Amino acid sequence: MFKLSPPASGHTVWKETVLYSFQGSNDGGIPQGALVEDFSGALYGTTSSGGAYGAGTIFKLTPPSPGSTAWTESVLYNFVVPSVVTKPVIDANGALYIGVDTAKHSGNELWKLTPPAQAQKAWVRTIIHEFPYDQYDGFKDLVADGSGAIYGAMSTNGRQLGNGVIFKLSPPAAGQTAWSYLVIHSNGATANSSPVALAVDVSGNLYGMTAFSPGNIFKLAPPPSGQTAWTYSSLYSFPATPVDYLSGGASLIISPSGTLYGTISSETTHSAGRAFMLSPPASGQTGWTETDLHEFGVGKDGVNPSGKLIIDSKGALYGMTQKGGHNGIADGTIFKLTPPAKGSTLWAENLLYSFQGNDGIQPNGTLIADADGNLYGTAAQGGAYGFGVVFKMTPPATATKPWTTTTIYSFTGEEDGSRPLAGVIADKSGALYGTTYAGGQNGYGTVFQLTPPGSGETAWTETVLHSFQYNESDGTGPAGALLADANGNFYGTTMNGGIYAYPPPTPGFGTVFKLNPPSIGQTTWTETVIYNFQGNADGSAPSGALIADAGGSLYGTTGGSVFMLTPPATGQTSWAETTLYSVATTANYPVGPSGSLIKDANGALYGVTQGSGAFYLGKVFKLTPPSFGQEYWVESDIYDFSTDGADPVGSLVADSSGALYGTTSSGGYFSDGMVFKLTAPATSGASWNFSVVYCFGRNNSVGNNEAGPDGAVPESTLLIDKTGALYGTTLLGGIVGSGTVFKVTQ
């Protein structure tokens, strides 16, 4: 398995990196078909030989852990007999779907491989549908939509006539185990009807290509409500030529704008294949427009394109050819097709700073601004010692000049702390306060203070206010920002520790703590755990910052719940915990609330979940306080993410009109995450209006495989200024891939 990185500045040669070399033994050999990538960056694919039985494998390649460069290969399944398989398809829960033709041993089957449950090691293979061998010749393509349905194209036993079917497999209904199989289109015994490639758009429309000259591009529209029949329409027929379009090089993809791109390959001597574009009808028109992008076989550009194309952020296409290239007819190529430049209607993104490593890596948490417009934030790694930094960004005197970035403190990883994950808050004097996830006197994290330089000085002074301990009266691993009250007390959370973390090695379920400033004449801050999570309905592993209401009640999130802590009544000492909302969790993927909450003037809470929602890609939710005489808060989903974005991690922010802004850490047009806006409906009960503000990766010359220079994986909470401009950070991307600070303006 290899990776191709774009040329460095001033160079023209792409760099190839071998991620893994198969040994041909138990790890597999002769990888076949295309790879698929999950949300974590892991790659999945198949081999046609090797494995426990020598018949091939389904494998996973896991990216290197921090500090390492080696990818890890693991075999998920060993084929018992040689099989022809489709490219894997992955769903939102990390399950794989593969069409398998076992070469007449048992016909054709559609498999599902489910990731191991908690405490399990093996992936579980399930045959979700079997196709009679006397009716079907084999899979040609497989795609999935946002609802979890699987669509496939198959040729049938009348291959000399070129007929075939398009099918849909819908997941089991609640309480059921059987997938529902439906043939949504049968082409019949016509001379141009064998489907060889499929694509699906965000509305659930299917697009496909049929084999044999002249070949055809078609669309299948889902049935209207109450109907069952899909609507077939032919979009384009290729000119009749002696070219055989049945070759395995046929592929079809759809761009965010609805344009179709594809390749056709030839098994004859009349053509070496070509790449084409099919544009939707212009306004007032009905016909799609076909444009030949490239004719292969000219010079050393390759012969017979094979496998699916991918499209990058600039609309460039990447693919492979089976043959041709510098070394003659037998070797093959990897190619790129670059489109003409075009305008954009998206918001303008300004890259304020790109981290270099020695000044920080993976900026995260929330930025804050002072009265002069300076920004302050944290990066979890990098800096002078590699354990994270606190930085300051000073705006330029004129708009054409760059911002000035200064590292105001580099953590040593010792008693001063390590890995600041959450940003900082400031007091009236300009001192900054924050947490580190690790380090400190006991190694379990700290609360720290940074005091600005005095007159004639340049260095900020760091003071550790509390070092967390691993015992029954403290928490460990603070990952959220601090909350300050009017009396100078700080409140925060730890992901682990607490009374249920004792005795060792139990990690515990996390805590909420309070840090009181020193009494007059004293210097020691006093930390108290005000709530220990139990890991049941109340949740566990709180990682976001807390918010407070006018009465002093605290609100926050855990990996599975939204909670409220009510201050002790007069004469009491215990805070009362109430679980306002609970989300069912899964061992395979996070689905609970992430980040912090925000509260509107009516007391309603708003937040995001990372993996739940209608499509298990995350959602934005609202919690409404109980009405008079009622007991429970009411949860409502404002928006479910699908193909427009995935995995919102950072908290929401609101502007003066009540519009909500947030980020998703992945998805969007270019799969590197995005900034979004939700506008409240004008009338009660209507839907919120969702719009994409900015998609990261648009300046990325490699598409989904690398983080772009404008940034990738925005997980921080946005900062909104008085002009409506948004500021934030990305974990990855930038000039050297260490993250960015960005500004988005309307």
DSSP state of 642: S
Tell whether 106 is covered by a domain: yes
Domain boundary among 276, 311, 343: 343
Shared domain for 123 and 147, answered yes or no, is: no
Query: In the prediction, which pLDDT does 106 show?
Result: 54
Shared domain for 126 and 180, answered yes or no, is: no
Shared domain for 139 and 128, answered yes or no, is: no
Give dist(CA 692, CA 694) in Å, integer. 6
Shared domain for 28 and 126, answered yes or no, is: yes
**Domain count within the chain:** 3
Tell whether 293 is covered by a domain: yes
> Which residues lie closer than 8 Å to 290 by C-beta, 6 or more apart?
236, 238, 276, 277, 278
Shared domain for 146 and 209, answered yes or no, is: yes
How far CA 343 is from CA of 132, 194, 272, 346, 601, in Å, comes to 51, 38, 33, 9, 40
DSSP line for 337-400: EPPPP----SPEEEEEEE--BTTBEEEEEEEEE-TTS-EEEEEEEBSSSSB-EEEEEEPPSSTT
Express each pLDDT in 476-527 by its tens digit.
Answer: 999 999 999 999 999 999 999 998 876 666 778 999 999 999 988 888 999 9
Give dist(CA 47, CA 37) in Å, integer. 16
Instruction: Pick out the chain residues at pLDDT < 50.
Output: 104-105, 157-162, 189-192, 241-248, 267-270, 298-300, 322, 325-332, 334, 340-342, 344-346, 586-589, 700-705
Shared domain for 148 and 159, answered yes or no, is: yes
Q: Which residues pair with 582 in a beta bridge?
A: 561
Angle CA(312)–CA(316)–CA(322) in degrees, nearest 5?
100
Query: In the prediction, which pLDDT does 480 show?
Result: 92
Query: In the prediction, which pLDDT does 61 show?
Result: 84
Q: 3-state DSSP call for residue 210?
A: strand
Shared domain for 28 and 66, answered yes or no, is: yes
Tell whether 64 is covered by a domain: yes
Helix (H), strand (E), coil (C) string for 698-742:
CCCCCHHHCCCCCCECCCCCCEECCCCCEEEEECEECCCCECEEE
Q: 3-state DSSP call for residue 453?
A: coil
Say which residue the tokens 């050393």 belong to.
300
Shared domain for 98 and 140, answered yes or no, is: no
Shared domain for 115 and 145, answered yes or no, is: no
Query: In the prediction, which pLDDT does 622 show?
Result: 93
Tell whether 15 is covered by a domain: no
Shared domain for 152 and 165, answered yes or no, is: yes
Tell whether 97 is covered by a domain: yes
What pTM does this model have? 0.57
Shared domain for 146 and 125, answered yes or no, is: no
Give dist(CA 234, CA 220) in Å, integer. 9
DSSP line for 140-209: EEEEE-TTS-EEEEEEES-GGGT-EEEEEEEPPPTT--PPEEEEEEE--S-TT--EEEEEE-TTS-EEEE
Domain range for 93: 23-133
Domain boundary among 301, 327, 343: 343
Tell whether 271 is covered by a domain: yes
Length of the chain: 746
Tell whether 680 is covered by a domain: no
SS3 content of the chain, % helix, strand, coil (to 5): 0, 45, 55
Tell whether 697 is covered by a domain: no
Shared domain for 181 and 262, answered yes or no, is: no
Domain boundary among 86, 116, 133: 133
Give dist(CA 213, CA 192) in Å, integer. 7
Pair of tokens at residue 520:
């007059």
- CATH assignment of the domain containing 148: 2.40.10.500
Find out whether 62 and 71 touch, Cβ atoms under 8 Å. Answer: yes
Pair of tokens at residue 58:
């389904």
Query: In the prediction, which pLDDT does 705 show?
Result: 41
